[in-house]
Amino acid sequence: MRIALTGAAGFIGSHVAEAYLAEGHRVVVFDNLSTGWRSHVPEGASLHEVDIHSREFERLIREFRPEVINHHAAQASVKVSTGDPVRDLEANGGGTARVAALAAEVGTRKLIYSGSGGTVYGSPTELPISETQAPHPESPYGLSKWVGEQYIHLFHQLHGLDFTILRYSNAFGPRQDPYGEAGVVAIFTAKMLDGTTCTIDGDGEQRKDYLYVGDIARANVLALDRGSAGTYNIGAGVPTSVNEIFRALQAATGSSLPA
């Protein structure tokens, strides 16, 4: 299968690219490397260093005519979105609209979209969160990711573009950047390996659903042929506290430093 994958030099996108290649698909990847790393792109994937807003990206998609487009390119920082919500909307809402329009134009069979379960829903009214819960974003980032979903729904209605939207919980795993707004697993692991003290906010009993990136990649493989015109929450389904993560990582790294 011919697959175009945006954002493939990032943490999650690179694992999705690996999973597609392992299944024998032809994978062409697109990343402007503004936050991703060339070294993350797996061998066997053809990398084009372009922005999804560029004319060159349009030309390459028209030339490749992918059967599936997997869209992981995004402005992924809540902090950046708060400081510049217009830039955030252009990147996520506008970028997704551009990708969906190209997919419809070249006859792409399906668009797979990387959603954000943690920010689209906002403060949950029920646990576990179901796909029927109404979105209530509490940040410009969460709103722009939801706007991207709405563009996909629109192109489905107007042009029959099939899609699967995958709303991830809190991802962790290899290649996650332990700096900036990275998840607690990556941050704690880096600090323990460096021999520095971890900081736990509050009592450490705050709980979230943490999802291994390999499971996310598997969901993206399954979405190639399943989940037509559907939106799915992708999570482990198990709430885990910060204290539990800290103790597990202490055991894994051999660290004896207290928090």
Active-site entry in 20, 113, 121, 141: 141
CA 108 to chain centre: 21
Q: What is the pTM of this model?
A: 0.96
Residues 159-178 have pLDDT tens digits of: 999 999 999 999 999 999 99
Clarify whether 20 is annotated catalytic.
Answer: no
pLDDT, tens digit, 9 for 90 and up, residues 200-221 = 999 999 999 999 999 999 999 9
- Whether residue 182 has pLDDT greater than 80: no
- For residue 140, pLDDT beyond 90: yes
| 226, 234 contact by CB (below 8 A) | no
85-98 pLDDT, tens digit each? 999 999 999 999 99
Q: 2-172+210-237 adopts what CATH topology?
A: Rossmann fold (3.40.50)
Range from 57-61, 85-89, 148-152, 180-184 carrying the lowest mean pLDDT: 180-184
Does residue 127 have a pLDDT over 90?
no
Inform me whether the pLDDT recorded for 226 exceeds 90.
Answer: yes
User: How far is Cα 9 from Cα 7, in angstroms, rounded to an integer?
Assistant: 6
What is the domain partition of the chain in residue ranges?
A: 2-172+210-237
